[in-house]
Amino acid sequence: MSAPATAKQSRGLGVRCEELVHIYRTGDVDVVAVRGVDLVVQAGERVALLGPSGSGKSTLLGMLGGLIPPSAGRLWIGDEETGGLSERALLGLRAQRIGFVLQGAARNLLQYGTPIDNVRFAHRSVRRSARRDLMEPRELLDVVGLGQVADRPVPSLAGGEQQRVALAVAVANGPGLLLADEPTSQLDTAGRDAVLDLLDLVNERFGTTVIVVTHDAEVGARLGRTVSMRYGRVGNEGDRGQQYTVVGKDGSVHLPDDVVAEWPPGTHVLVERTDDGVHIRRRPT
Ligand code: ADP
Ligand code: MG
């Protein structure tokens, strides 16, 4: 006899993308920000998205949350292929089942309200009859250590406090998918730990799939799986401390950073097949 489905299994929304591309068109210039990303994140998984500035992390995250339309490629959020959804259906999916923290805390908040107003507003967007498991707004703010400032005007809060309010707002709907863009960038260790605790809590309570863009290696380590981007492509993946290089569609590989430092672009390498595998070495000089 199989076990009954838990809330955890039913709520989490996985994402899957195939050759996802995004091109920003500004005047005469096209910027290819995401260049053919294939990625599968299972429901309930926790992933850190890493990479240098300008590598396409924010753009990919925006696409995964249905905020930025792909220029090419296919994307599934849960079982829905987003290309087949109307604008209205996509809006509904975002309001009911996705939580998003944009890069830059202030952009996420209604500045004329208080933290509690902001969280209540997000809380109300959910059909309450369908969800009896949501956390109360004050409880959420307590978890991120903001109980004391819940009734202050948002502009009077420090950047790090606004960041934590933004995360509380993003999880108020008990999302199946939480996407957070550098949610700890302005926080000290205690603030960062409060954020990571809340990520754990929603992951456990709702089965939320969590994808976080971060520069902080400790955030990556705590989430477990890391996906690294470079020049709009996923080049490396880490899983519990082990690093893997991902082979691209065209057969290209992103070498690890320390190898790139030794072998600058244009270096010739030999790829040799031997009895015990395939080896790469620098062309002898
Ligand atoms: P990251 O989050 O990794 O720093 P982004 O996704 O923000 O990367 O940006 C990827 C590339 O797309 C960069 O070259 C950036 O300059 C460009 N870009 C980002 N947003 C825009 C925009 N709104 N218009 C034009 N180019 C953009
Ligand atoms: Mg970014």
> Which structural domains are found in the chain, ordered by start?
5-282 (3.40.50.300)
Please give the distance, rounded to the nearest whole angstrom, from the Cα atom of residue 56 to the centre of ligand 2. 7
**Mean pLDDT over all residues of the chain?**
89
- Say which ligand is closest to the CA of 35: 1
Task: Check pocket membership of 24 for ligand 1, CB cut-off 6 A.
Answer: yes
Model confidence pLDDT, tens digit, residues 34-52? 999 999 999 999 999 999 9
Q: Which atom of ligand 1 is nearest to the CA of 61?
A: 6
Q: Is the pLDDT of residue 212 over 50?
A: yes
Q: Is the pLDDT of residue 130 over 80?
A: no
Show Cβ contacts of residue 217 under 8 Å, excluding neighbours closer than 6 positions: none
Residue 39: half-sphere exposure toward Cβ, Cα within 13 Å: 33
Average of per-residue pLDDT across 250-277: 88
Cβ(137)–Cβ(123) below 8 Å = yes
Pocket test for ligand 1, best of 59, 179, 212, 229 (most atoms within 8 A of CB): 59
Rounded to 5°, the CA angle 188-190-191 comes to: 65
Please give the distance, rounded to the nearest whole angstrom, from the Cα atom of residue 56 to the centre of ligand 1. 6
Task: Give pLDDT, residue 77.
Answer: 96
Task: Check pocket membership of 57 for ligand 1, CB cut-off 6 A.
Answer: yes
The structure tokens 């902080």 sit at 216
Using pLDDT thresholds of 50, 70 and 90, give the confidence band for residue 8: very low
- Say which ligand is closest to the CA of 101: 2
Using pLDDT thresholds of 50, 70 and 90, give the confidence band for residue 2: very low
Task: Give pLDDT, residue 10.
Answer: 58
Please give the distance, rounded to the nearest whole angstrom, from the Cα atom of residue 213 to the centre of ligand 2. 8
Query: What protein residues have CB closer than 5 angstroms to ion ligand 2?
Result: 58, 103
More confident residue, 194 or 62: 62
- Say which ligand is closest to the CA of 55: 1
Model confidence pLDDT, tens digit, residues 95-129? 889 999 998 877 889 889 999 999 998 888 776 66
Task: Tell me the pTM.
Answer: 0.89
Q: Which of 228, 226, 234 is nearest to 210 (CA)?
A: 226
Task: Check pocket membership of 86 for ligand 1, CB cut-off 6 A.
Answer: no
Task: Check pocket membership of 236 for ligand 1, CB cut-off 6 A.
Answer: no
Q: Which of 62, 53, 78, 79 is nearest to 22 (CA)?
A: 62
Strongest mean pLDDT among 7-11, 120-124, 134-138, 225-229: 225-229
